[in-house]
Amino acid sequence: MTQPSDGSASDDRVRALLLTQAEDKAVTARLRDDLTLADLPQGEVLVGVEASSLNYKDGLAVLGKPGVVRKYPMVPGIDLAGSVLESSDARFKPGDAVLLTGWGVGEGHWGGYASHARVKADWLTHRPAGMDAKKAMALGTAGLTAMLCVLALEAHGLTPGQGEVAVTGASGGVGSVAVALLAQAGYTVVASTGRTEEEAYLRQLGASEIIPRSLLSDMKRPLEKERFAAGIDSAGGSTLAGLLASTRRAGAVAACGLAQSAELQTTVLPFILRGVALLGVDSVMCPPELRERAWERLNREVPQALYTEGVREVPLAEVQAQAEKILAGQVRGRTVVIP
């Protein structure tokens, strides 16, 4: 049972953004303060949520777009960070600082856009020492995904001296963290974005060059001039096709998103004539051991500029408005949601 802040005997109240679906499939999002702990789904651990975040997938869910939420009613929010209030699992005890990303939370199990969340212990990660909830959610799924992409490229053999690394969707959540991480590690980063007005921001994060998204997405030949040693792509579609076509021999591209399109119209030529590798990165069902490794590195390697220049905080009441902006490509960096 949580202890209320107003000194009353007990308080089971839960404040949450709740999605409901009508018979005609129309989805409504409403801020509720009349829910209780008894309304929460089952799980071994009750978390007092201190922060969540807004990802592209969250924007789709909040605005009722198909393909994300699997059942209603649903509390969206695929990320959350906070402190353990109750636990029946020995791995977690009251007061532990934890975070959660992925695992279908906010899609099939109530998520982070609430004051409380009851979740499975297997889904939780202990927050690294010194990482508070807001900083964890300034990274969230986007940060974890970016680091998993870096780890995948490193496992393929990428090192800073091999040449330029392209990052597509560079002003977005995954892209901005990827730019910062790569630059911090000594890579020469070429940032591809549809919002070239963000050049100053991307250079602050460490990008050496900014190129318009069209430079990659307008490429039509199966093989272009070899340029990039590697790439991190969150766009998909013709942008990914162009990146593959312009990746150098034995290079690799880590693909993690579909902001432009889920389709990929390309040929096998980059793979069989240049030995380019396409590395798929999934952060949703990423195993716990790899998550812990990624979060420890994020805690050590994310530069302070990412937190000071590319993060905004919004209350639950503003999530819908921010969801519209993120789907329209109008959000720079990361958005932290405060329940």
What's the pLDDT score for residue 5?
37
Residue 67 lies in a domain: yes
- Give the predicted TM-score (pTM) of the model: 0.90
What's the pLDDT score for residue 308?
82
- Over 80: is that where the pLDDT of 24 sits? yes
Residue 61 lies in a domain: yes
Same domain flag for 108 and 21:
yes
Same domain flag for 32 and 81:
yes
The total of other beta-carbon atoms located within 10 Å of residue 93's CB is 11
The total of other beta-carbon atoms located within 10 Å of residue 151's CB is 17
Same domain flag for 123 and 145:
no
- Over 90: is that where the pLDDT of 123 sits? yes
Same domain flag for 325 and 265:
no
What's the pLDDT score for residue 99?
98
What's the pLDDT score for residue 309?
78
Same domain flag for 100 and 186:
no
Residue 310 lies in a domain: yes
Evaluate whether 179 touches 206 at the Cβ level (below 8 Å).
yes
Residue after which a domain boundary falls, among 245, 263, 280: 280
Q: Give the confidence band of 174 by pLDDT, cuts at 50, 70, 90.
A: very high
- Over 50: is that where the pLDDT of 324 sits? yes
What's the pLDDT score for residue 330?
85
Residue 230 lies in a domain: yes
Percent of the chain with pLDDT over 90: 87
Same domain flag for 275 and 155:
yes
Same domain flag for 275 and 154:
yes
- Over 90: is that where the pLDDT of 307 sits? no
Residue 285 lies in a domain: no
Residue 222 lies in a domain: yes
Q: How far is CA 337 from CA 81, 173, 243, 278, 313, in A?
A: 10, 14, 33, 33, 6
Same domain flag for 177 and 53:
no
Which structural domain range is residue 248 located in?
141-280
Residue 262 lies in a domain: yes
Sign of CA dihedral 301, 307, 308, 311: positive
- Over 80: is that where the pLDDT of 310 sits? no
- Angle ∠(158,159,165) on CA atoms, nearest 5: 70
Same domain flag for 55 and 114:
yes
Q: What's the domain count of the chain?
A: 2
- Over 90: is that where the pLDDT of 333 sits? no
pLDDT digits (tens, 9 = 90+) for 205-252: 999 999 999 999 999 999 999 999 999 999 999 999 999 999 999 999
- Over 50: is that where the pLDDT of 8 sits? no
**CATH number for 108:** 3.90.180.10
Report the pLDDT averaged over residues 298-321. 91
pLDDT digits (tens, 9 = 90+) for 137-163: 999 999 999 999 999 999 999 999 999
pLDDT digits (tens, 9 = 90+) for 275-286: 999 999 999 999
Closest CA relative to residue 170, chosen from 220, 205, 218, 219: 205
Same domain flag for 114 and 40:
yes
Evaluate whether 94 touches 72 at the Cβ level (below 8 Å).
no
Residue 135 lies in a domain: no
**CATH number for 154:** 3.40.50.720
Calculate the average pLDDT of the chain.
Answer: 93
152 DSSP assignment = H
Evaluate whether 81 touches 98 at the Cβ level (below 8 Å).
yes
Same domain flag for 145 and 119:
no
Same domain flag for 155 and 83:
no
